[in-house]
């Protein structure tokens, strides 16, 4: 075949003629020409072909039919969780090497990489208010030279649950009632019914109903991994780790009363125009670490479980170590392409960072990519905003499917010995990193114990000042006023009583509801009650016993890590 026949007019091979995403994204309207979807120039977007001036339309009018057909399909399903959000691009830089703890290339001193961030509210719909009292999502995509690392965080260090199967049920209570179709703004019954049956949620409730419950925009909040990860160094030794992103702008909050005066898109507007005006927000990246032995000791002596999303690590014992910082200095050009379609997952890890046995984290490792495949498509990671930026040409055997833009050409779609692909030696010995769990299969449900109230009690007694306490009681009582049933309120006040008698008494006065004297006489439908005085009330509703449970309540007990790091 001649050279003329194998090349296009611009000198490229015929099969290589395609539009460049970056060039197209940055092109001004003045440089474009109106066309149909197949690239044919068209005279005017408002025209329609008819039979005469007052006759019916013609089926041959591809422009109109294509326009309407695309319009009918131009939405993808909104996220079930974190539907309302904002995003921007920026860069991360390691300012202090972490090579003693991890072999991740990202954490070598001076290393820098581009990032994208999406902030969000958790429970609301895509059109919900930015100033809702709700946790905030804080997801970061680090485009490292070893692949994308997604650090999927919230603006609170704890969450409402620690048993993974509870997550869909909890989120359902944050949505609209199936009968009335009313949200929590009008009917909070589902919300308090769930919380009053699952007391381990109390730590997050204290945070949510306090001053941190409504941040004054995304720039003025911290981010927390919440989950425990593992960092593995080049010697193969590992430590447990949690990440904290501390806002360089400090933190600000909005009161419940002030929230009604703000724009529904307050946080989006604040973030966008700060970046547009050159006031680039930044965060310090800090890490908390502990050894396997320290994790066992922490449970044995202080009943803090590093696998429990409702617990926090004491910073006095495990201080934050700054490793780097990042800034957001670029707004997106197109919200749908760069924020709505961006997809984060805690299973998107790089060598040197691994998951722990945290059960809620383990469930998210599956759930997040699964929802992206449903919502965006099986090849969601080929979209430009999700695609890795690595210095090597990627190869795998994931081919075809909807929207396979990069289908790896004519390369073999199996492990070929004729045209072999290259392999890189494993940077982490996964056998040593994850190989220390031995046991029988158990059906596990956690138990409410005295230690579950230590963190919430510290917030009430040591962190909240008098003004914060008054606002907290007002926030809770106001939200409870929309609860149609009194029983969940009585039960929830009993849970608050385990935190503080002062708190419970204030809430009884504010709500006019007398709560139960505590939880020792209650049975819960979602958790075993380790504080029950009557053994018949200990097991969760529908269960006859808790014989499968252990003394550790899911924590790393003595001896779990006996063969870890040469111990």
368 is in an annotated binding site: yes
Element (H, E) at 492: helix 487-499
Q: Which candidate, 106, 105, 104, places its Cα nearest to that of 92? A: 106
Cα separation, 417 vs 369, in Å, equals 31
Query: Tokens for 331?
Result: 């707004």
Cα separation, 80 vs 561, in Å, equals 37
Three-class SS state of 260:
coil
Q: Which candidate, 168, 210, 173, 177, places its Cα nearest to that of 193? A: 173
Residue 40's DSSP bridge partners are none
Query: Tokens for 16?
Result: 């290589």
68 phi, psi to nearest 5 deg: -70, -40
244 as an active site residue: the answer is no
Element (H, E) at 324: strand 321-331
63, 82, 89, 479: which one is catalytic? 82
Query: Is 119 within 8 Å of 217 (Cβ atoms)?
Result: no
Query: Tokens for 262?
Result: 């703000």
Tell me which DSSP letter residue 287 carries: E
What is 431-471 written as a DSSP string?
HHHHTT----------EE-GGGGHHHHHIIIII--HHHHHH
Half-sphere exposure of 458 (CA within 13 A, CB side): 9
203 as an active site residue: the answer is no
63, 129, 154, 198: which one is catalytic? 154
Catalytic residues: 82, 154
Binding-site sequence positions: 368
Binding-site sequence positions for heme: 368
């Amino acid at each position: 075949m001649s050279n003329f026949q194998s090349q296009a007019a611009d000198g490229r091979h015929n099969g290589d003629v395609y539009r460049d995403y970056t060039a197209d994204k940055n092109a001004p309207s003045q440089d474009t020409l109106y066309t149909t979807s197949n690239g044919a120039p068209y005279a005017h977007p408002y025209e329609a072909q008819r039979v005469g001036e007052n006759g019916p339309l013609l089926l041959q009018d591809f422009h109109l039919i294509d326009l309407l057909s695309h319009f009918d399909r131009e939405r993808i399903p909104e996220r079930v969780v974190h539907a309302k959000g904002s995003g921007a691009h920026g860069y991360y830089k390691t300012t202090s090497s972490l090579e003693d703890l991890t072999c991740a290339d990202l954490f070598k001193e001076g290393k820098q990489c581009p990032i994208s961030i999406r902030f969000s509210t958790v429970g609301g719909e895509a059109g919900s208010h930015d100033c809702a009292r709700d946790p905030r999502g804080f997801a970061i995509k680090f485009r490292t030279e070893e692949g994308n690392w997604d650090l999927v965080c919230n603006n609170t260090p704890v969450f409402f649950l620690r048993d993974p199967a509870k997550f869909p049920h909890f989120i359902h209570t944050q949505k609209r009632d199936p009968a009335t179709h009313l949200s929590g703004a009008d009917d909070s019954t589902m919300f308090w019914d769930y919380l009053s049956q699952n007391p381990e949620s109390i730590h997050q409730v204290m945070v949510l109903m306090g001053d941190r419950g409504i941040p004054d925009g995304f720039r003025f909040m911290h981010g927390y991994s919440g989950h425990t990860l593992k960092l593995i160094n080049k010697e193969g030794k590992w430590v447990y780790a949690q990440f904290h992103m501390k806002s360089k702008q400090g933190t600000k909050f909005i009161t419940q009363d002030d929230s009604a005066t703000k724009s529904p898109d307050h946080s989006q507007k604040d973030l966008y125009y700060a970046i547009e005006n050159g006031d680039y927000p930044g965060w310090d990246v800090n890490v908390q670490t502990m050894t396997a032995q320290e994790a066992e000791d922490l449970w044995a002596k202080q009943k803090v479980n590093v696998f429990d999303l409702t617990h926090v690590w004491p910073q006095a014992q495990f201080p934050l170590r700054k490793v780097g910082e990042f800034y957001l200095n670029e707004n997106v050009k197109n919200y749908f392409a760069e924020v709505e379609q961006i997809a984060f997952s805690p299973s998107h890890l790089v060598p040197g960072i691994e998951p722990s046995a945290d059960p809620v984290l383990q469930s998210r490792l599956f759930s997040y990519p699964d929802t992206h495949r449903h919502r965006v498509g099986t090849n969601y990671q080929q979209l430009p905003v999700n695609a890795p930026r690595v210095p090597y040409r990627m190869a795998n055997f994931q081919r075809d499917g909807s929207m396979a833009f990069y289908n790896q050409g004519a390369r073999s779609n199996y492990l070929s010995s004729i045209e072999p692909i290259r392999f890189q030696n494993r940077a982490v010995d996964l056998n040593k990193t994850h190989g220390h769990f031995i046991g029988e299969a158990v059906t596990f449900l956690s138990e409410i114990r005295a230690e579950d109230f230590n963190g919430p009690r510290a917030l009430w007694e040591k962190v909240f000042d008098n003004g914060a306490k008054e606002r907290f009681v007002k926030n809770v009582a106001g939200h409870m006023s929309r609860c149609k049933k009194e029983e969940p309120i009585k039960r929830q006040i009993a849970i608050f009583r385990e935190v503080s008698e002062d708190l419970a008494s204030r809430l009884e006065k504010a709500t006019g509801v007398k709560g139960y004297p505590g939880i020792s006489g209650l049975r819960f439908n979602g958790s075993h009650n380790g504080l029950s005085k009557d053994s018949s009330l200990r097991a969760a509703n529908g269960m006859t016993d808790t014989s499968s449970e252990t003394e550790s309540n899911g924590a790393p007990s003595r001896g779990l890590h006996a063969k870890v790091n040469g111990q």
